[in-house]
Amino acid sequence: MTEDFLKERKADIHRVLNLIWSTAYELQEKISKRIKASEVEFAKDSYINLGGTFEKQLYPVPVIKTEVGEVGVNLDGVYGVVGVLTKSLSEEFLSRVLEASFDVEIYGGKDFTMTYYREGMQISARELLEEIRRSEEEVVQVEVKRDLKESFEVIEDLMKLKEIMIRDKVKYISPLTISEG
C-alpha cells in the first residue's frame, strides 16, 4: 500500500519537499538582511500534529535560528517560535499577543504537547497567565504561524512579537546567544 502511494504521488512528494526547502533558503536570505540569523539547519527531534496526535518527524525539517527565535518550515507551513521565561510574563503582554494580528499558539517548553492557547480559543489574558503560572514550565513557547504562500510574513510577525516582548520587558531565549533578551 505504501509503495503504491509513493509510486502514484512521487512527483507531488518531490515538489512539496523542494518547496519546503526552497522556502527555507529564501526565508534565510530575507531574514539575514534584517536580523542576525544562522544558515539553514536541520531540525532534530521535531514533531508534527497529525489528527490531534504529536508524531516525531524522523525526516529533516529546515530551521533558521535568529536572535529572536527559531524559524522553521514543515508540512504545516512556516512558523516562528520564541522561548519565553514564564516568570517574566504579564497579563499586559499576553493581552497584546492575543489581540495581535497574527496566528499564535502558546505551549509548554518542556511539555510541548500542552497547549495553553491556540488561535480561536476563548480565554482571557488573565486566565491564560494563571494557567501558565500553575504549570511547572519555566519556559513557554510562543509560536506565530503562516501558510507557505505567506511564508515571508512570518518575519514581520516575529518582529512584532519582539517589539511586544521588549515593550513589556518579557525575557526570551535567543537561539543564537542562549541568553535572555
Q: Are 105 and 62 in contact (CB under 8 A)?
A: no
Report the C-alpha gap between 79 and 43 in whole angstroms. Answer: 13
pLDDT digits (tens, 9 = 90+) for 96-112: 999 988 899 999 999 98
- pLDDT digit string, tens, across residues 53-63: 889 889 999 99
pLDDT at 180 over 50: no
Cell triple for residue 13? 512528494
- In angstroms, the Cα distances linking 76 to 20, 61, 72, 148, 168 are 10, 11, 10, 8, 30
Q: What is the rounded distance in angstroms from the CA atom of residue 86 to the CA atom of residue 51?
A: 29
Q: Between residues 100 and 141, which one has the greater pLDDT?
A: 141
Strands (E), the chain: 41-43, 47-50, 53-56, 61-65, 70-74, 77-85, 103-108, 115-118, 139-146, 172-173
CATH number of the structural domain 2-173: 3.30.930.10
Cell numbers placing 33:
538582511
- What pLDDT does residue 181 have? 41
- Position 45 confidence tier, pLDDT thresholds 50, 70, 90: confident
